[in-house]
Structure 1
């Protein structure tokens, strides 16, 4: 396996680092601010962004005093601006995608936490890459939709990339730097998956899954979209595509292993028979702190792992019959081109419909498979080709959804 495509991050310059957090009110954003608050001598919040959660972003602005606050929604931006002025704060409020790109690429910014969920995070992450920032990537869709373009932008812009997903962060941690620049004897990447809340459910039980059940993840606290993706195992499928781009790994060198305790976050197998694993309590502050401090280790607030309390570690093969989303993701990766973009778009539409309780749980993979089968796959030549494929797939998915509503 050749993993030479990964850019080895260089240490940040000394002094206080200015950070933009894209998706500040989400789970990753909140955990990032928690870690930053523990290290005021190392980080300053330059910009915070959100979609429309005015009260949450206002509270964060009051605590961290960013230069900019960005809302995607114009009405929300106006409401936030009024609240900030009434509080006597000087934070400037902007809105829209262009504003997200601005606070991601501004010359003042050193680090960008890319944590906007979904396709909306693509453009600001790309802007940060072109501007040569250190990017802490928590947005799966950036690599899933436009992996080749994004990695090219990272290289051309002189940016550095650190993965925030616990699995990819774990892989990076157990691959020493000297092995990131060459073959390094790596045989296989082993991505662990919790199996979600329905790991032992029968096919008939999966057909009857409710929204409340799907949102009840046994190990992790995440936003609703990612939690549903975990329940369908699409989350792991998207991570397979991410791993392909991050570590230049062919699909056959990536294996998914169900590990219900979520203590081992991922492993790397070497040609000499060694398997190195990164372990820890399931808390996103660990990978966030590692990426923020790299190559240093920072105190994260995560409690120590109690091996005696855990007592055992279990592993299972994933069931692609009960969880077809995982196979669909591998299929899309092998097809290449715009196939992963189509997969992601159809999934976003289907998951949104499930959250709105318009379709059933197992209708999600049915809609995705139908859209993939009926869509033309094209090479990814530029960002517009990605955006066009995404838009077309969303329309197709919405049409297919009518059959299940």
Structure 2
């Protein structure tokens, strides 16, 4: 167990703020901090929080993807003065490539990070993921979209053991897979809470509202991920992610509804044994494991209380009401740029849903329509992925406009 320097991308988001909770609590046996955060980045929607984090952590660099760098510097100066750190002035990197620059901050110097946590939401995390993998640092990946859209590009860029999953489901799989060899694995079982609309039929889903879609029964997440959980698009993305991370064929990866969200995923082995990872729903546990991998961080989260009675239930997915998982598998089977199109069309449709332009069912229906029109690239390249995403976003907006729905501003964010 050793001290580690950490870079956090998306520090003001749900994953980033919980990661900072882990960092604040984690200590080595001698009482010194286990982690030191050397650089952070954020989109720019919470400038005051970003400034406070920069001062509290005394980072060397701050990345700002959108927003005014001058305003951020003023806020940092004010927070530093209030904290008695009048001379504190980190380097500020601003612009759309800020997180990509921060991801490789200090590489090759004494400031080089041991771990980069990518907590960005959406496929904009791809370039930072590739930048982090271009360094010797471990990449704790909460930004599943970058692996999904980047596919083999990301896998080729990663050194053996460099990529560690932070999604609770994939962290659970990584832990359970330690129980046997690759050849002994029969099946991966990914659990889903079922979201806020579990048990509803397709006809009932036609009338749900954006506010209802954001009321997740278990997890506290950002708007995009929460909506994706309601449609089960998130589970479709996680199936693709598991396929890419663990090299298990899609037909040997299943999703099952587990409303209590205590079993985060399971591995079924060839002898009939199933190993499950159980813990109360708290993202700080997989985050801590990602930062400390392969070692655990004591006290990262509360364990299950086995002195209390509890009941866990499991149900099959209703693919008729929630076709997103099977659609994701189809995209993954086609491969190449198809997963990128699935993700990009979804992001555009989710924005439209929250703008009140479309209904809930239109989200996955639109993804299916865009995918059906897409011709996958014969060879996967970064430019090919970006071009496929541009096409998918434009085509999604065209389809919505053709239905009499106002196009969503491509630059809008949830």
TM-score normalised by the chain length of structure 1: 0.92
Question: Structure 1 residues 300, 404: closer, same or farther in 2, change over 3 A?
Answer: farther
- Distance in 2 separating the partners of 1:376 and 1:247: 27
Q: Secondary structure at the match of 2:177?
A: coil
Question: Structure 1 residues 380, 309: closer, same or farther in 2, change over 3 A?
Answer: farther
Q: 1:171 aligns with which of 159, 170, 173?
A: 173
Stretch moving more, 48-57 or 289-298: 289-298
Question: Structure 1 residues 377, 350: closer, same or farther in 2, change over 3 A?
Answer: same
Q: CA deviation at 1:339?
A: 0.7
Contact 2:41 2:98 in 1 (8 A): no
Structure 2 unmatched runs, 5+:
28-32, 81-85, 406-414
Q: How big is each residue's C-alpha offset from its partner over 1:53-76, in whole Å with a ceiling of 9 and x where there is no partner?
A: 20111121222111111110142x
Which residue of 2 is the match for residue 374 of structure 1?
373
Q: 1:82 aligns with which of 74, 86, 101?
A: 74
Which residue of 1 is the match for residue 4 of structure 2?
17
- Distance in 2 separating the partners of 1:34 and 1:130: 27
- Distance in 2 separating the partners of 1:300 and 1:290: 11
Alignment of 1:5-404 (within 5 A): 15-39=2-26, 41-52=33-44, 53-75=46-68, 77-86=69-78, 87=80, 88=86, 89-106=88-105, 107=107, 108-155=112-159, 160-176=162-178, 179=181, 182-183=182-183, 185-307=184-306, 309=308, 311-402=310-401, 403=403
- Distance in 2 separating the partners of 1:195 and 1:178: 29
Contact 2:66 2:96 in 1 (8 A): no
Q: How many residues align?
A: 386
Stretch moving more, 275-284 or 33-42: 33-42
- Distance in 2 separating the partners of 1:263 and 1:128: 31
Higher relative contact order (CA 8 A, sep 6+): 1
Which residue of 2 is the match for residue 10 of structure 1?
none
Q: Secondary structure at the match of 2:318?
A: coil
- Distance in 1 separating the partners of 2:161 and 2:278: 28
Q: CA deviation at 1:15?
A: 4.5
- Distance in 1 separating the partners of 2:379 and 2:113: 29
Q: Secondary structure at the match of 1:174?
A: helix
Question: Structure 1 residues 177, 263: closer, same or farther in 2, change over 3 A?
Answer: closer
Q: How big is each residue's C-alpha offset from its partner over 1:236-255, in whole Å with a ceiling of 9 and x where there is no partner?
A: 00000000110001110101
- Distance in 1 separating the partners of 2:214 and 2:125: 23
TM-score normalised by the chain length of structure 2: 0.90
Q: CA deviation at 1:298?
A: 1.1
Stretch moving more, 27-36 or 285-294: 285-294
Question: Structure 1 residues 93, 300: closer, same or farther in 2, change over 3 A?
Answer: farther
Q: CA deviation at 1:307?
A: 4.0
Structure 1 unmatched runs, 5+:
1-13
